[in-house]
Amino acid sequence: MTIQYINNPDQLDALCQLISQQPWIALDTEFLREKTYYPKFCLLQIASPDWVACVDPLAISDLTPLLEAIYNPKIVKVLHACRQDLEIFYQITGKIPGPIFDTQIAAPLLGFQENPGYAMLVSSFLNINLNKAHTRTDWSERPLSADQIQYAADDVIYLCKIYTLMCEQLEKLGRLDWLNSDFELLNNSELYQISPENAWLKIRGKNKLTGKQLSIMQALTEWREQTAQEENKPRNWLLQDDFLLELAKLQPITLGELSKIRNMSERTVNRYGKVLCELVATARQRPPKPFSEKERSSKKTQQHEAILDVLSAVVRIRAEENSLNPVILATRKDLEALLFDDEDCLLLQGWRYNMAGRELQGLLQGEFVLSLKPDTVVISKV
């Protein structure tokens, strides 16, 4: 298959015509973000079963016609592990180009492990071992070599073939429609924007901090996220997570105190020292944001463990009925999330909710009961 390398508007218009005629297209992106907060969009690969193209966004200043073609709601966009790819589209337009089909999300319904890598799918479906020669390529460098372009194009060429085979197998199993609500969740814009005020929730070790320390860590993390966004720098270039925790514990309020902290660079003190000290001083005087119920309930009792055992039994039953590995349906952590009312629990979403989550939730709420027979467990409504 000849690869079209698109780097001028005339070629782009012709590609848009091809896209408009397709019921679905495969998409992939190449980007860099080692030195930036936001991904730098370097290459877009697009394919159908009949053609493949690599679009150079660094050479074409106006991608509007292409975006309009891709955002056509009648065309399914096929990707693998699509979150970072969709983040680029969201960064450009503020919207997600649905409808989406993510092969990583679909794969467990065909017996694969949770979140399988793309190389695993290519090997399993096509018996091809991916070439890793350009894994570390700087995709912002121009010109790209023929080998680099082929490497990039191969991802969507294989993705087309995998998608076709996946749909055939899912259709045979009657599971293709199970994925609709999972894919619909990918349109949620909150997945692609990080709120600075909630960035502290991702910091490991926060549960060990005292009240004042937690308040300081929250203030520093919010400042770091906002500053990283404004300056378009990786957040860890400003302050690493373990250093945020150290500052929260030591609570420096003067430049002298700050500069004496081990591994605190002179550059950081000179550039951000004053604001860091002000943040610490202010945060010490206010209560921290509260933990969620999930965080507060992280310590389980023996009664909790017994409940989780019962829920696990139901998961095993429903997984066996549907020829799935129980771990694909729900892990112990997923059941803990359900028990402690975590709204992000996978069992409250998509096919997992329909297969087991609704039932498990009903058991916890007293709407269902379990009874035993010699050879089975019976789940019935109260």
Maximum average pLDDT range among 71-85, 167-181, 186-200, 311-325: 71-85
Which residue matches tokens 């399993």? 124
Instruction: Say whether both 22 and 157 belong to one domain.
Output: yes
Q: Can you tell me the mean pLDDT for 258-264? A: 92
Instruction: Go through 100-110 and write b for each residue having 16 or more CB atoms within 10 A of its CB, e for each that does not.
Output: bbbbbbbbbbb
Give the domain CATH number at 346. Answer: 1.10.150
One-letter amino acid at 192 equals Y
SS3 call for 264: coil
- Which of the listed residues 283, 310, 337 is the one where a domain comes to its end? 283
Q: How far apart are CA 58 and CA 183, in angstroms?
A: 30
Residues 23 and 159 in one domain: yes
pLDDT at 297 > cutoff 60: no
In a domain, 236, yes or no: yes
Structure tokens belonging to residue 150: 């082929």
- The CATH number of whichever domain residue 124 belongs to comes to 3.30.420.10
Write phi, then psi, for 288 (nearest 5 degrees): -75, 160
Identify the pLDDT of residue 93: 96
Q: 77 and 184: one domain?
A: yes
Write the burial class of residue 121 (CB in 10 Å: 0-12 exposed, 13-18 middle, 19+ buried): buried
**Residue 291 belongs to some domain of the structure:** no
Q: At what angle do helices 211-231 and 241-250 cross, to 10 degrees?
A: 140
Evaluate whether residue 122 is within a structural domain: yes
What pLDDT shows up at residue 295?
62
Where among 283, 306, 324 does a domain terminate? 283
Residues 216 and 308 in one domain: no
Please provide the average confidence, as pLDDT, over all residues in the chain.
94
Q: What does the radius of gyration of the chain's CA atoms come to, in whole angstroms?
A: 25
Say what the pLDDT of residue 133 is: 86
Range with the lowest mean pLDDT among 43-47, 191-195, 271-275, 306-310? 191-195
pLDDT band per the 50, 70, 90 thresholds, residue 298: low
My answer on whether 256 and 206 are in the same domain is yes
**Cα separations in angstroms, 300 against 169, 206, 313, 333:** 40, 18, 19, 12
Do 240 and 167 belong together in one domain? Answer: no
**Confidence band, pLDDT 50/70/90 cuts, at residue 199:** very high
Is 292 within a domain?
A: no
Q: Is 346 within the bounds of a domain?
A: yes
According to the model, what pLDDT value does residue 102 have?
Answer: 98
Whether residues 72 and 186 fall in one domain: yes
Here the CATH number for the domain that contains residue 260 is 1.10.150.80
Asked if pLDDT for residue 55 goes beyond 70, the answer is yes
Total residue count of the chain as it appears in this document: 382
Statement: residue 296 has pLDDT above 60: no
Residue 5 has pLDDT above 80, yes or no: yes
Q: Give the number of domains in the chain.
A: 3
pLDDT at residue 380 tops 60: yes
Helix axes 302-321, 332-339, angle to 10 degrees: 120
Residue 289 is assigned to a structural domain of this protein: no
Average pLDDT for residues 233-262, to the nearest whole number? 96
Cα separation, 269 vs 276, in Å, equals 9
* Claim to verify: residue 149 and residue 223 sit in the same structural domain: no
Res. 344: pLDDT tops 90? no
Do 28 and 106 sit in the same domain of this protein? Answer: yes
| Res 341: pLDDT | 86
> Does residue 288 lie within any of the structural domains?
no
* pLDDT at 219 > cutoff 70: yes
Residue 67 falls inside a structural domain: yes
Its domain, for residue 126, covers 3-192
Query: Please, what is the Cα angle at 54 between 184 and 87, to 5 degrees?
Result: 35
Domain boundary among 162, 192, 222: 192
Q: Are residues 50 and 72 in the same domain?
A: yes
Q: 204-217 pLDDT, tens per residue?
A: 999 999 999 999 99
> What is the helix (H) or strand (E) element at residue 368, kind and residue range?
strand 368-373
Mean pLDDT of 225-243: 96
- The counts of H helices and E strands in the chain are 18, 8
Task: Please tell me whether residues 132 and 63 are part of one structural domain.
Answer: yes
Q: Are residues 256 and 312 in the same domain?
A: no
pLDDT surpassing 90 at residue 190: no
